Chains A and B, each alone.
Chain A
């Protein structure tokens, strides 16, 4: 069964780089059928889509956040990553990694919906 597990620093100082890792287990990250993505949920707020990546390294970003975050993948380690340069207090949130089915014939009906989520990792940006 597919599992996604986020990890991160927990606490980051303002202006420092935030780096998160998501480990994919129970299924291949090199699937033609899925994107791998990141979302966040700020305290008391709703869900915000950040970015997605395909194993071929094609990347897709929320236009309002593009330039702030970068997403990458290492298929040999079955991991993908999110990086934010120069974090601010506004980036304090729970960050989720997730799977998003692609719209391919024979693929899930759930394309462009989030069908698998990690448990989330809390990141606090504070000095």
Chain B
């Protein structure tokens, strides 16, 4: 089973700052990786698919990169609504979908 490790667990930043979140896979998932955002009390929503492609309706301040085992989600300038939990997920072992443990982006 491929394990996804997200770091840091918590990121404390101010609005307007740049956020950089990491997801590391225990073995290569090529670019079969997605990122999700989850706000308190809400279901997650798909942000990024195939490692670097924004899903429909996702603002351009969200970008992502990576392949193989190391992936990064970047929020170029944090808006108040961006403070949330972020999860990565790989699809390399269907029917098992595996998620990382999450990174919480909180207001400093």
Contacts and interface: CB of A to CB of B under 8 A. Distances in A.
A117 B99 contact: no
B94 A60 contact: yes
Contact of A47 (B50, B95, B96, B99): B99
A46 B43 contact: no
Given A46-B99, A46-B101, A115 B94 contact: no
Contact of B91 (A60, A62, A111, A117): A111
A33 interface: no
A109 interface: yes
A118 interface: yes
Contacts of B55: 110, 115
Interface string B25-47: 00000001010100000111110
Interface residues of A, number: 23
Contact of A48 (B32, B36, B43, B99): B99
Contacts of B87: 46-47
20 contacts: A46-B100, A46-B101, A47-B44, A47-B102, A60-B94, A61-B95, A62-B97, A100-B97, A109-B53, A110-B34, A110-B46, A110-B55, A112-B91, A112-B94, A113-B34, A114-B36, A114-B44, A114-B46, A115-B46, A120-B43
